[in-house]
Structure 1
Amino acid sequence: MEGMLLLCVALVITSLGISGTATTITTYPDFQQLHVKQTIASAATKLYKEEEEDGGSESESGGARWKVKVVHRDKIFPQAPYNKSSNSHHHLFHARINRDVKRVDSLMRRLGNSKLVTDFGSEVVSGMAQGSGEYFVRIGVGSPPRSQYVVIDSGSDIVWVQCQPCSQCYHQSDPIFDPAHSASYSGVSCTSTVCGRLQNPGCHAGRCRYEASYGDGSYTQGTLALETVTFGRALIRNVAIGCGHMNRGMFVGAAGLLGLGSGPMSFVGQLGGQTGGAFSYCLVSRGGDGDATTGSLEFGRAAMPVGAAWVPLIRNQRAPSFYYVGLAGLGVGGMRVPISEDVFRQTELGDGGVVMDTGTAVTRFPTLAYQAFRDAFLQQTANLPRVSGVSIFDTCYDLNGFVSVRVPTVSFYFSGGPILTLPASNFLIPVDDKGTFCLAFAPSAAGLSIIGNIQQEGIQISFDGANGFVGFGPNVC
C-alpha cells in the first residue's frame, strides 16, 4: 500500500579495528525506507547530542576534550537581509549545485596544476543562507576574541579571515576583524620560517604576504600574522592566519576559512604534535525549515572513537593537502556492482584513491563506474515513477504523494575490507517542492573520484593523521 512503512532501519557500525581485514560498517538490510514527506517538509531529526555549555569536558585520559558545533549553511540566519532568495528546495538545490560545480572545477585545477594542544572542538553549522561554503563553525579570533563564522574545508591548507582595513571585502554576517583591536596580533616577517611554509609567499614593507585562489574566481590576499584562535574555552596561541585585505568569491557570509587539510599551514598541520593530526567531525543534515540541527568538530586524540571502522589514508604527492582513501567498488541492494577496482585508481591527477572532501556536496565517480552503478540502481527501482533529470543528476523520481518508499541500499566497498552502507537520505535527495527526488551522484569525465558531504552527512568521520587512517562511525550525529 502506498505510504505504508515497510521497513525501519538504524545505523549500527562495528569494527575489527585497524588491524582487521574485513569490517561491515553498517547493518542495513538490502532495502531501506526513504521517508518522503518528512524529507520534503524538512522535518529535522535531532541526532546531535549537545555538548556541554562550557564547550569542553574531561577525557578518560584526564586531558581536556574540546568540541565546537558544526552547522550546515542552510540553517544559518534564514532571514538574513542579504539573502533575498527563496528558501525552497528548488532554490537551495540549484544554488548548491552551482556552488558544487565550481568547487569541483577548483579541485580539478588545483590537482591538474599541482607540482608538488589539548583536545578541543566546535559546533558546525549550516551556512546555506549566507551564500557561502557548505559548513560553518564559530570561532574566536584575537584578544579579546571576536566571534566569527568560518567555513571548514578539508581540502584547504590555510586559515584566514577578512581584516580591516579592507580595500575589497565581501559581505559577512559578523563585523570584519580589526587587528588594531587585538592585543595578540603579530605580523609575520618575510624572513620567518612560517612565511617560508606558504606555497607562494610575498613580501611588502618587511611583512609576509599570502594569497590563495580557489579556482572559480574566489581569492583572498593579505598579510600573514600570528594570532590567538579560540574554540569555546580553549585558546590556541600563535596560529598563523591570513589577514585578508582583498577578498572575493563564494565565501559571502562567512568571515573566512578554517583549512583542515593535511599540509603544514592548515589548522590541523599547525597543531602538529599537540593533536597528532587527529580530528573528528559530524556533518548535519542540509537545508529546510524548522529548528537548526548541529553537528560537531573535535580536535585531539580523545576525539578518536572506539569502535570505528578504519580505512588507510593514501598519500598523493601531487595533492598533499587532500585526504585520499582507497575505493574498491560499489554496491546496490546488497549486491556488488561489477566494476574493476582499477577504475578508481585514477592516475591523470595523482596516484590512486578517492578524495574525502567537506567542500564538495555531490559524490563523483569516473564515468564508467558511475554508469554501471546508476544502471544497477535503476534496475532495482523500476517500480518507482521516473522523471527527467535535473541539473547534473540524470536519475530522478516523482515521489509526490508518497509517505515513504522502499529503496535499495547503496554501499561503498573500501580497499582492505570495510563496507559503508549509506542511509537512504544520503543518496536520494529532494530537488524541488513537488516531490522530485534524485540520485545524488554524478559522473566525472576527468576520472577524479570525490566522496562529497551529502554522502558523509550524519556519519561520524575521524582522521588519525599520525597513523594514517580515516574512521567511520561508530556514532551517528
Structure 2
Amino acid sequence: MEGILLLCVALVMIISSGITGTATTTYPDFQQLHVKQTIDASTNKLYKEEKEEEESGGRWKVKVVHRDKIFQRASHNNSKSTSSNHVFHARINRDVKRADSLIRRLLGNNTNDQLGVNSAKDLDFGSEVVSGMAQGSGEYFVRIGVGSPPRSQYVVIDSGSDIVWVQCQPCSQCYHQSDPIFDPSRSSSYSGVSCTSTVCDRLQNSGCHAGRCRYEASYGDGSYTQGTLALETLTFGRALIRNVAIGCGHMNRGMFVGAAGLLGLGGGPMSFVGQLGGQTGGAFSYCLVSRGDVAAAGSLEFGRAAMPVGAAWVPLIRNQRAPSFYYVGLSGLGVGGMRVPISEDLFRQTELGYGGVVMDTGTAVTRFPTLAYEAFRDTFVEQTANLPRVSGVSIFDTCYDLNGFVSVRVPTVSFYFSGGPILTLPARNFLIPVDDKGTFCLAFAASGGGGLSIIGNIQQEGIQISFDGANGFVGFGPNVC
C-alpha cells in the first residue's frame, strides 16, 4: 500500500507517463469516496456565468455546463419530475441508445473532404460548457452566438458528430428549446448554400430543394434534424467565425430538448473543428465539470494556445470506417493499483476497422467488451467485499448500499494507455449515486456488440482533455476543473 487519498469535493487525478521518459508517478491503491454530497442548486449564478468571458494567453475560453444545470432553472416552470430516480433513468435510457448508435455507425463508411472557413489566422477562442442532463438532449452545452447580430443559443457539444446545426424559422416541426428559435431572415450574414456548391457535395446525406442544398442527420434514438445548409457567422465570446457551414433545421425531433442544436466536434471535415482546419491546427481542449455540481462550469477552448504543457499525451488512432471518432490505444485496466489480467487484443481495432476505443463526450457511461468488463468488474468486487451489495440498477450490475456512510474506502481505477501513460480516476468518476437512498453503482457497462469500447463523459469529468489534431495526440491533464 502506498497510502490513502482523501476525495471529498475536490477532484483528484493522477497521471503517470512513460512517453517522455519522466519518472513514473506513484499513486495510492485506495481512495476515500465522499458519500454525503452537497449540491448548490442556485440558478442566479447561471445567468452571471452566461455573460462571463475569460481571456488568457491570447485565446478565448467559453464555458461548458452539464444539462442538469439548465434543468435546475427550467424545473421551476416544469411539472415534470426532477427526482434523482427520474433523472438517472432518463439519462441511462438516452445513454444506451447513444452507445448503440455509435456501434451501428461503424457499419458505414463516412469520408469527406476538407472545408475552409473565412476567419483570422492562428485563431484561439472558446466557450463555457454547461450541462442540461434532464432537458432531454446531449449531456453538455455551450453558449454561442449565431448570426449577425448574434443570437445567443445553447448547443450540445458532441465529439462524435460532424455537423453543426440549430433549429430555424420557419419551423414546421421543432422541439422546445431554452432560447427563441433562430430566425435567419434577421441575420445579415446568413447565406444559403446552392445545390451545385462543393460544400453541398461533401454532405453525407444531401439533397436539393428550390436550388438550395438540403441536409439531414439522424441519431441513434430516432432523433433527427432536416433543413437547409447555410454559411453563417458563429460567435464565441468576442471571437467571430465567419462562413461556417451549418444546418438550419426546419424539421427537428428528439433528444435535443433545451438546446438549440448541436456543435459537432468530431474528426471529420464537416465538423466545426474540421472546418477551421489549419487555422487552429485541429486543436481544442475541454474540461467537463462534475454532473453533481450544478453551480460550476467547465470550459471549451480552440487553438494551439489551448494545448497545455505537462499533459500526458496519447496517440490518436485513425479509423477509415469512422473518421469522426477519436480513437485511442488502451492496453489495459487497473484496480487497486494492480493490473487486471485482460488481453490487450480486446481493445484493439481489427483490420476491418471494428472494435477499438473511442473517446466520446455524448456517451455518459464507459463501455468495454464483455470479457474485459467482466474481468474488470470481478476484480473490483473482490476488493470491495466489505461494502454492502444491492441489486443492480438499470445497466449497472455492481451496486452498493452506502446509506448512512459519510465516506467509504474504495480501490482506485486506472486506464493503462498504449505507450506508457496511466490515468487514475477520482473515486466519484467511477462510483456514482443513482438515487436518493444512498445507492452507488460502478459506472461501467459491457458494450452491446462489435467489440467497441467507449470512454464516456462520467470518466472524463474534471480532467482537462486536449486534442491536437495536427500532430495526432490526445492529452490528459495536467489541470483539473
TM-score normalised over the length of structure 1: 0.90
**Superposed displacement of residue 109, structure 1:** 1.7
**Superposed displacement of residue 28, structure 1:** 3.5
Please say if residues 48 and 295 of structure 1, whose CA atoms lie closer than 8 Å, have aligned partners that are also in contact: no
Please say if residues 8 and 32 of structure 1, whose CA atoms lie closer than 8 Å, have aligned partners that are also in contact: no
Please say if residues 137 and 256 of structure 2, whose CA atoms lie closer than 8 Å, have aligned partners that are also in contact: yes
Please say if residues 36 and 399 of structure 1, whose CA atoms lie closer than 8 Å, have aligned partners that are also in contact: yes
Distance change in 2, residues 1:62/1:82 (3 Å): closer
Distance change in 2, residues 1:48/1:420 (3 Å): farther
The Cα offsets for residues 269-315 of structure 1, whole Å up to 9 and x where unpaired, read as 000011000000000111xxx97210000000000000000000000
- Report the secondary structure of 1:22's partner residue: coil
Please say if residues 316 and 352 of structure 1, whose CA atoms lie closer than 8 Å, have aligned partners that are also in contact: no
The Cα offsets for residues 326-352 of structure 1, whole Å up to 9 and x where unpaired, read as 110000000000000001114397255
User: Mean alpha-carbon deviation: is it higher for 206-215 or for 4-13?
Assistant: 4-13
RMSD in angstroms over aligned alpha carbons?
A: 4.9
- Report the secondary structure of 1:475's partner residue: strand
- Report the secondary structure of 1:80's partner residue: helix
Distance change in 2, residues 1:17/1:191 (3 Å): farther
CA–CA distance in structure 2, aligned partners of residues 101 and 369 of structure 1: 19
- Report the secondary structure of 1:5's partner residue: strand
Distance change in 2, residues 1:353/1:97 (3 Å): same
User: Mean alpha-carbon deviation: is it higher for 77-86 or for 312-321?
Assistant: 77-86
User: Mean alpha-carbon deviation: is it higher for 198-207 or for 34-43?
Assistant: 34-43
- Percent of aligned pairs sharing the same letter: 90
Please say if residues 114 and 319 of structure 1, whose CA atoms lie closer than 8 Å, have aligned partners that are also in contact: no
CA–CA distance in structure 2, aligned partners of residues 387 and 109 of structure 1: 33
- Report the secondary structure of 2:451's partner residue: coil
1:82 matched to 2:76? The reply is yes
The residue that corresponds to 2:63 in the other structure is 69
Distance change in 2, residues 1:467/1:156 (3 Å): same
Distance change in 2, residues 1:131/1:348 (3 Å): farther
**Superposed displacement of residue 130, structure 1:** 2.0
CA–CA distance in structure 1, aligned partners of residues 354 and 133 of structure 2: 33
CA–CA distance in structure 2, aligned partners of residues 305 and 374 of structure 1: 33
Distance change in 2, residues 1:51/1:98 (3 Å): closer
**Superposed displacement of residue 61, structure 1:** 11
User: Mean alpha-carbon deviation: is it higher for 8-17 or for 299-308?
Assistant: 8-17
The Cα offsets for residues 249-286 of structure 1, whole Å up to 9 and x where unpaired, read as 11111100000001001000000011000000000111
Unaligned stretches of 5+ residues in structure 2: 106-114
Distance change in 2, residues 1:427/1:48 (3 Å): farther
The Cα offsets for residues 151-182 of structure 1, whole Å up to 9 and x where unpaired, read as 00000000000000011111111000000000
- Mapping of residues 115-264 of structure 1, within 5 Å: 117-264=122-269
User: Mean alpha-carbon deviation: is it higher for 379-388 or for 211-220?
Assistant: 211-220
CA–CA distance in structure 2, aligned partners of residues 472 and 419 of structure 1: 10
Unaligned stretches of 5+ residues in structure 1: none
Distance change in 2, residues 1:324/1:43 (3 Å): farther
Distance change in 2, residues 1:123/1:8 (3 Å): closer
CA–CA distance in structure 2, aligned partners of residues 189 and 124 of structure 1: 33
Please say if residues 9 and 32 of structure 1, whose CA atoms lie closer than 8 Å, have aligned partners that are also in contact: no
TM-score normalised over the length of structure 2: 0.89
Please say if residues 116 and 317 of structure 1, whose CA atoms lie closer than 8 Å, have aligned partners that are also in contact: no
**Superposed displacement of residue 231, structure 1:** 0.3
Distance change in 2, residues 1:151/1:51 (3 Å): closer
Distance change in 2, residues 1:114/1:345 (3 Å): farther
The Cα offsets for residues 53-78 of structure 1, whole Å up to 9 and x where unpaired, read as 4xxxx999974x01110000011141
CA–CA distance in structure 2, aligned partners of residues 441 and 32 of structure 1: 18
- Number of aligned pairs? 467
Please say if residues 40 and 433 of structure 1, whose CA atoms lie closer than 8 Å, have aligned partners that are also in contact: no
CA–CA distance in structure 1, aligned partners of residues 46 and 430 of structure 2: 18
**Superposed displacement of residue 353, structure 1:** 2.6
The Cα offsets for residues 110-153 of structure 1, whole Å up to 9 and x where unpaired, read as 19999995100000001123221100000000000000000000
Distance change in 2, residues 1:15/1:272 (3 Å): farther
Distance change in 2, residues 1:2/1:42 (3 Å): farther
Distance change in 2, residues 1:422/1:14 (3 Å): closer
The Cα offsets for residues 375-398 of structure 1, whole Å up to 9 and x where unpaired, read as 000010000000000000000000
**Superposed displacement of residue 221, structure 1:** 0.6
1:340 matched to 2:343? The reply is yes
